[in-house]
Amino acid sequence: MINAQEIRTILARHGTLANTIGQLSDDACLFDNGLDSFGAVQVMMDLEEHFEIEFPEHLLNRDTFSTVSSIRDLVLEQLARKAA
């Protein structure tokens, strides 16, 4: 089971979020706090490598990567699919 801190650690590696991720709630919009589309792609690739998953193309959108909670839920969903 993953937790929000694992997601935060990965997010902290990318862009301007490195300085603020610890101050944001799990439901704060990451794009309103410095994440841009390039950073979101980097985060996605880092998550795929770290958790050994692959995100389906239809989930690659701003809503999916907008909060720590939404990212955690997506990763959990993909891990469950992988285990099935």
Side chain identity, residue 28: A
The domain total for the chain is 1
- Could you tell me where the beta strands, DSSP code E, fall in the chain? none
Q: What is the CATH number of the domain that holds 12?
A: 1.10.1200.10
Instruction: Report d(CA 82, CA 38) in Å as an integer.
Output: 26
Which element (helix H / strand E) includes 21? none
**Domain encompassing residue 8:** 4-83
Instruction: Report d(CA 60, CA 37) in Å as an integer.
Output: 11
> Taking the complete model, does pTM exceed 0.75, yes or no?
yes
> In the predicted model, is pLDDT for residue 66 greater than 90?
yes
For 27-39, the pLDDT digits (tens) are 999 999 989 989 9
